[in-house]
Amino acid sequence: MNTPLTTTQTTATPVTTATPASVYQQLRGHLTELKLADAADALPRVLDQAQAEGWSLTHALERLLSIEVTATDARRLSGRFRFANLPTGATLDDFDLDAASGIDRNLLAELGTCRYLETATNVLLIGPPGVGKTHIATGLGHAAVQAGYRTYFTSAADLAARCHRAAIEGKWGTMMRFFAGPTLLVIDELGYLPLPAEAASALFQVINQRYLKTSIVITTNRPVGAWGEILGDTTEAAAMLDRLLHRSVVVTLDGGSYRLRNHAAQSNELRRVTTGTNFR
């Protein structure tokens, strides 16, 4: 005798309709879990605006995500500026071209586009103290950071000192990778301070590993013919210049000192205000 199969009936649990408040909390929780903190913070504002203005779901979602993207871009920009180690906030727009001598306006504008970085072209800024070399170098760094390029600013003396310390501590490879990393490396004030004997080797290694891959901006008060004297090694200086100049823009500046002009202008303004006399 066959035993009849027992049919078990299951009663479906009715689906509880989520309340708008719980859906809102879930949505905010999802955004937080996905680390979209700015979108989570903006959610109530965007929902209120969407309801008030009759936005579509697509429009509201686009507005919410655009807030997150804008905040992310701002954080990345801030991080690039922190890493860049720029000495001031000087930009190319701040540079007084009317007082400068030896620089082409069109050339400076072209450098400001950062297109030279796409071809790993180097920029050498040569001239006496005070003519604006560091200002231009800083401005180029500022433009590169704004354009999304990883940038690092250092003085020649600091670069040499850090490489020397790394060699002593057995971290030479790590230091070389650090200086090879940025798309733009700015080396300021080559020739201003005496460099130790090993500085030529350190500078050559940094320049050599970046050769035809990434760009370098160098400021110096000495003509390239005197670099052997600066570095204490004419052979290494020649090899360094061979790589730097292979694909480069050389800007020679002259004229009076920016700092002295600014000092004179400030003094003149102070006298004018206190005495009513304009000194020339």
User: What is d(CA 19, CA 4) in angstroms, rounded to the nearest whole number?
Assistant: 45
Q: Put residue 233 in one of left, alpha, beta given phi > 0 → left and psi -120 to 50 → alpha.
A: beta
| Alpha helices per DSSP H over 85-233 | 105-112, 133-146, 156-168, 172-180, 199-210, 227-231
- Per domain, the residue ranges of the chain are 20-81, 85-260
**CATH architecture assigned to 85-260:** 3-Layer(aba) Sandwich (3.40)
Which is it for strands 215-220 and 184-190: parallel, antiparallel or unpaired?
parallel
70 alpha-carbon distance from chain centroid: 18
Token output for 43: 């959610």
Q: In this predicted structure, what is the pLDDT of residue 223? A: 93
**Interior CA angle at 190 toward 186 and 192, to 5°?**
135
pTM over 0.85: no
| Alpha helices per DSSP H over 181-233 | 199-210, 227-231
Which residues of the chain are under the pLDDT cut of 70? Answer: 1-17, 255-280
Q: In this predicted structure, what is the pLDDT of residue 258? A: 56
Q: In this predicted structure, what is the pLDDT of residue 274? A: 54
**Interior CA angle at 223 toward 218 and 229, to 5°?**
95
Q: In this predicted structure, what is the pLDDT of residue 102? A: 73
Neighbours of 96 (CB within 10 A): 11
Q: In this predicted structure, what is the pLDDT of residue 185? A: 98
**116 contact partners, CB below 8 Å, separation of at least 6:** 110, 123, 215, 249
Which tens digit of pLDDT belongs to each residue from 186-224? 999 999 887 887 889 999 999 999 999 999 999 999 999
Q: In this predicted structure, what is the pLDDT of residue 276? A: 56
Q: In this predicted structure, what is the pLDDT of residue 99? A: 77
